[in-house]
Each structure stands twice: as structure tokens, then as C-alpha cells.
A and B are shown apart, each in its own frame.
Chain A
Amino acid sequence: MESIPSTPEELSLAITAATGLDGISQLRRLTGGASRETWSFRVGEEQRIIQRQRLTSPRDMHVEVGVLEAAYAAGVPVPRVLASSRDLVGDNPVGTQFMIVNAFEGETIARKILRDDEYAAARKTLPAQFGSALGKLHRMNSAVDGLEDVDQIAFYQEHLRDCGQSHPAFEIAFRWLEENRPPVGRRCLVHGDFRMGNLIIGNEGLRAVLDWELAHIGDPAEDLGWLCVRAWRFGGAGPVGGIGAYEDLLEAYGEASGEYISLETLRWWEVLGTVKWGLMCISQAAYHLTGSVRSHELAAIGRRVCENEYDALLAIRELKKGKGSTRV
């Protein structure tokens, strides 16, 4: 097998060979996650982004390409896919699956969005914009091939069993989640990681929803609950991404989708999301502990698991009281 182009010069030539895009300049690497790397470049005056899968990643980026195209067509604010390895005939000079999208100006760093003056106006409108974007997304009609639909409780219980640690708090949470599971709702495409950090914000509000690699088929309330998990509030007071009230999100969501989700259902999904992020913290630390990536940052995340145990138990306590149930 040919080697994968790794220097900016090699990658630039490979992109041209794969897509016919000419006049590429300023190609530079932005980030390298566990599953993919992201580069930015210019074609003339236009800013572009290329995401390239890692060889070791088990994910199929072409599913995400299909999701992005469907979301774009449905009017959800997302990057537009301009080229991808899905449409190649024959060899892929870029080496692994890739997609090229247009770039957005704006901010993704939650701490700035939550605190800087230039986002003061945006903070007022964002919770409703989140609701409206999710409403549109969950009402998309176009079918996308290759999306999974798994039971979220069963999936994460298995995750807990297989992680090699014991967490009594999460066992309590799973019991509560099972006993209080909301009626099974509609199935639809959910983003899977809709939260501060994956959203591009301008001073007027939401510009684009990024990072669709966890998209799957699920309950629409899953995305709303995940957005409210305390980890994604980044120290902000409002439950919705640190800036808004539950009601603002639910109301805008109802208006955009015609489907009114109850606060109780939203909170149930928030508890599930809290447990899920706790389990993901265990996985992050495991990257370091098993030696696949040595990093004190990842190691430290292992000690954030208990933040999620705390939030899950607090929420359960609160929700039990709210329902007036005094089970013995």
C-alpha cells in the first residue's frame, strides 16, 4: 500500500489529485483527535476544511457525509460537503476516508461564548436557536444509510460492565433510569454530540453545527438532554449549555418540530447523558492507562468521573422529590 500523504505539500497535491481542486494554499493542521485529523486551507479567497479519518478508526466517514448532506438540504445550519472520498472512482490519493467542507468564521470555545461581551446578544438567543436547529434536524425526512439504532441504557450498561471498574453511583443511576424510562418516542436522526464546543457561534448567534460523527437513530429528546449535561455548561448557570433555561429550549423545540417534549423527559435524558459522559471519561483515561496515548490531560479526566456520579445522584434525588415519590 502507498504511504499516506502527511506533510502539507504531499496532502495538498493529494487533494488536487483526488478532487481537482486547484490553487490550494495555506494548508495547515488544526487538530488531531483520536479518530480523525482536521486541516484548513484556502482555495482562492475561500476557506476550506478537510477532515481525514485515521487508519485505525473503525468509523465510516461516508455515513457522516450522507448525514451532513441531508441536514444541509433540510436547512439545518451545517457545513456544506464540497467533496469527499465517497464520490471517488478508483484510487484515493488522500489515503483514508476524507471530506472537504466550507469553513465558518466564529467561536467554538465555550468559556469565551459564556463570558465575553461580544457574545452577550448571542447568549440571549442561543437557547431558542438550539431548540429550533434540533427541531429541524429531528424532522428531516431523508433516509441516510448506515446509521445505528441501539438501546441507550443497554449500550451504556454494557460499557460499564466492560470498563473494568465498579461504580455504585452509576448502578443506582441505571436502576432509576430503567424504572423511570419515558414512553418510547418517535425514532429519528439524532446528532449524538450536540453541545457547546461542537457549535460555531457568532456574535449574532448559532452559525453551524459541527462534528456529526456520532449521529445515529434515536429518541429526539436524547439530543436535548445531552445539551443540558452539567459538563457542557462550562461553569455557566443556565442548564442549557450554561446559558439558558430548560423552558426556552423546550418551547423553541416545540415550535420548530411541532413536538412538545416534557421537562420530565428532558431531565431523564440529561441523567442518562450525565452517566454517559462519566463512562466516556473512563474511556478517555483508559487511552492513557493502556498506553495508546500517553497524556496527563487524559489521565486527569479519569478523576472527573465522580463529577458525573455526583450530578446524576443529585438530579435523581431532586427528581424523586419533585414527583413526591417516597418509596421505601
Chain B
Amino acid sequence: MSELHDPPTAQQLVESVREWLETDVFPQVEGRLQFHTRVAMNVLAMVERELELGEAQNENYAEGLAAFQCSSEAELAEKIRTGALLSQEDEVEEFVMNSVIQKLRVANPKYLRDE
């Protein structure tokens, strides 16, 4: 697929700002500003991971939803609520757990426990 935009990629641009925060800003600030700088670095790292993984994750999610005859996440939530998927309860739970793990791989991979 051809890309319209010139390098650096969005991921590389975000990475450059995060690195600047880490090396130049963070060591120079303290207290509340340091805390908010750390939050900003974490947010940018999250965006980098989403740019790397997000597209494939979205495709997989749509496929997984379709396997339960759901065209959207909202539809899956509704079917769980009303008990329409009770006959496939274990499969649904496994799929939902896996989708939550995919979200954590972007939001906070360190949160995942070794299993």
C-alpha cells in the first residue's frame, strides 16, 4: 500500500516527542509537573503501541464479533446482557478475555499477569 505522507511515520513522530520528554524535560522538573510529564510519556508510548498494533487488532476484533453473529461490540454487550449467548458462554468469555488482553497490550502491557 502506498503512503501519501512522507517519513517519519506518525509512530516515529510520536516517539521523537516522547524521547524528548524523557531525556530533556523529565529530569528538569519535579512535583506535580514531573508527575504530569510522566503521564504524558506514558500516553505517547500508548499511542505508539496503538499505531503499531491497532489496525490488526481492530480487524481481528471485527472477525471475532462476526463469529458470534454480532456486527458491533454494542451488539455483543446486548446479547450477553439479555442472555442470548448463554449456550456459548465459555466461548464468549474466552473471546471477551482475549479482547481485553488486546486492549491491555496497547494501554498497559505491564499490567498483564504471566499465565
Residues of A within 8 A of B (CB): 166-169, 171-172, 174-175, 296-297, 299-300, 303-304, 306-307, 309-310, 313-314, 317, 327-328
Contact = CB atoms under 8 A, between A and B. Distances in A.
A296 B40 CA distance: 7
> How many of chain B's residues touch chain A, expressed as a range?
20 to 34
B111 A310 contact: yes
Given A306-B100, A309-B100, A310-B101, A327 B89 contact: yes
Given A172-B96, A300-B46, 17 more contacts: A166-B73, A166-B76, A166-B78, A168-B76, A168-B96, A169-B97, A172-B92, A174-B81, A296-B39, A296-B43, A303-B103, A306-B104, A307-B104, A310-B104, A310-B112, A313-B100, A314-B113
Contact of B107 (A169, A299, A306): A306
Interface in B35-60: 36, 39-40, 42-43, 46
What are the 8 tightest A-B residue pairs by CB atom distance, in nearest-first order? Answer: A306-B103, A171-B80, A166-B77, A166-B74, A303-B107, A309-B100, A168-B77, A168-B96
B30 interface: no
Contacts, number: 73
A297 B106 CA distance: 17
B93 interface: yes
B80 A175 contact: yes
Nearest to A170: B77
A198 to B, nearest CB: 19
Nearest to A313: B97
Given A296-B43, A303-B46, A306-B107, A169 B113 contact: no
Interface of B: 36, 39-40, 42-43, 46, 72-74, 76-78, 80-81, 83, 89-90, 92-93, 96-97, 99-101, 103-104, 106-108, 111-113
Contact of A300 (B43, B100, B104): B43
21 contacts: A166-B72, A166-B73, A166-B76, A167-B77, A168-B96, A169-B99, A171-B77, A172-B80, A175-B81, A296-B36, A297-B36, A300-B39, A300-B46, A303-B106, A304-B107, A310-B100, A310-B111, A313-B93, A313-B100, A317-B93, A317-B97
A172 B89 CA distance: 9
